[in-house]
Chains A and B, each alone.
Chain A
């Protein structure tokens, strides 16, 4: 008797599970389209001739007309700007981890007066809009000779990236049990050795993730880059100044020129990026 009663229930759960599966698949597909469609359109239009860009309906496969892209590559200063972008972003990455990771460690391991205020102040640096700060910054930079250098710009970008570096590494170190460190001390490690041999290997993927984050913050920043550099402009500042008012086909080509290097970079470091969501602690 009971078997008869259970059969429809089992069927209902199976149905529900099936529906759930469908929902999952549909959501996954939707999310993929959400992310991939703009990139697809960008690439297709970047690889089309100017006439095709304004034409409708669009072709599914581009005609692989590289005229617009070639224009970009030959546009005076693009290569240099690309190099500057990489340089500034790398410097930003190194500086923000160099300053941010020790700060995050201190916040998670030590109790000191003004700790909460410090955490708050770190976040406060993001409260002032850059256009407001750019003028006094530029004046100071011109006077000190930091003006128009990659290092100067990287310092500004570091200020932007630092709060994230501090907070990410803070939660990262907090997730590693202090007992591990204490065990190392009892076995004869100094504080520094314990950090280097026990904590650092565990935290490294997370640190790398926050470094990548700093890299992208620097890569995407426009205003400071546009004001503080002239000859050594970053690619983003260099292109965005002109792209906003360029014809459509060049906008697509420029967009692709901006997005593709960032995509390649993210793809190369994706392993570390995922660590930001806690894989590091396992």
Chain B
């Protein structure tokens, strides 16, 4: 036994020492995006194959992603070549990113708004936009028979959605609206970028306004017809596929599987509108290069490659994130892309469209900012507390965060001098 153990240990030690060093040549792409295994696989096989030189695409959850990056920055040397992440992922490490304004992206015309977002409020291009997505509504076709008369899905309002959900619940005997309110769900984005803008025309300034109280009361009404399992959901494509849920709100990448597995069963449509407009939140992912990147030139070449039209289309097929450059989509797109691009066009092109940007300038307080909205939801909707009282308390916490970050207002709030006010 001891001898066997000794031999095993010796062999293991020798192997572990021999294993290092073989990967110096490839670019390590350290990303928080395309984490589901199938997407990771496609990123490697279809998107990054075409790059001149080997790329190692590795995904990590936000926590390990940031910890690893910070460790390399502190140590002053690293293995990460290129970073991939959402706007919020980069805001904490902005000072340690290489300026990308000189990267040659050829003829590609990158969305100007997103490019500005990528400067993180500095004079340098801290990250370049890589891909974009948003949130949509999806419905099982069985739900359409209960749609109230005269409702146009592309122009749906919150009141109509409530009525529709009520019809379904009453006729089928169970609530069939679904909402990603689980621990890994993106519910905070719904309140920040959809519910608040639609009712108040604001995300921050009017946090405790009477309009905000109306919004929460409407949502409470909607919650009656929402499947109580919603507090477990992370990806709405799963309950949609099992039929537990007939109408759902979620990120397009988290709905795609339902459309791709059963293209004939589902329809996608825009997020509903409220009195102040049709609030929606575009999501932008970017690519950046950390100061500690072992080969900055190679990394810049990879960044430029990510923005080529062919790469952008391949990325769309792999991840369901849409291009950030002007490009014509070919016809052989997956069912999800076909369904989503129509719905997204209807949403962004609607006369009452009201885009709400991801929180800006909050730095590492972004998580706490999201928590304010999630907490309000839990206290008001799940806990049944008084709307006015909760909003008063949460508004104080929100103001403290914004003041601490000294973040000026972002869309849809009007630009402010100094920290964005919470009225």
Listed in ascending order, the chain A residues whose CB lies under 8 Å from chain B are: 50-51, 54-56, 71-72, 75-76, 87, 90-91, 94, 131, 134-135, 138-139, 141-143, 147-151, 154, 204, 208, 223, 226-227, 230-232, 239, 241-248, 250, 254
Contacts and interface: CB of A to CB of B under 8 A. Distances in A.
B235 A87 contact: no
Interface of B: 1, 5, 8-9, 12-13, 15-17, 19-20, 23, 28, 30, 35-38, 40-41, 44, 56, 58-61, 63-64, 67-68, 70-72, 74-75, 77-80, 184, 234-235, 237-238, 241-243, 257, 261
**What are the 4 tightest A-B residue pairs by CB atom distance, in nearest-first order?**
A138-B71, A150-B16, A142-B75, A226-B64
19 contacts: A50-B261, A56-B243, A75-B41, A76-B44, A87-B12, A87-B16, A90-B9, A134-B67, A134-B71, A142-B77, A142-B78, A154-B16, A204-B1, A226-B60, A227-B67, A230-B28, A244-B234, A246-B36, A250-B37
Contacts of B61: 226, 241, 244
B9 A54 contact: no
Contact of A135 (B30, B71, B80, B261): B71
A149 B16 contact: yes
Q: Is the interface of A mostly helix, strand, loop or mixed?
A: helix
Given A87-B12, A94-B8, A139 B238 contact: no
A254 B238 CA distance: 17
A279 to B, nearest CB: 17
B37 A254 contact: yes
Nearest to A137: B71
A139 B60 contact: no
Contacts of B79: 147-148, 230
Nearest to A91: B12
For B23, B67, B234, the residue with the greatest tally of chain A CB atoms inside 10 Å of its CB is: B67
A149 B37 contact: no
Given A91-B16, A245-B234, 16 more contacts: A54-B238, A56-B243, A71-B38, A94-B8, A138-B68, A139-B71, A147-B79, A242-B37, A245-B35, A245-B235, A246-B37, A246-B38, A247-B36, A247-B235, A247-B237, A247-B238
A127 to B, nearest CB: 20
B68 A250 contact: no
B58 A230 contact: yes
A91 B67 contact: no
Nearest to A211: B5
A165 to B, nearest CB: 14
Nearest to A95: B9
Contact of B68 (A51, A54, A94, A230): A230
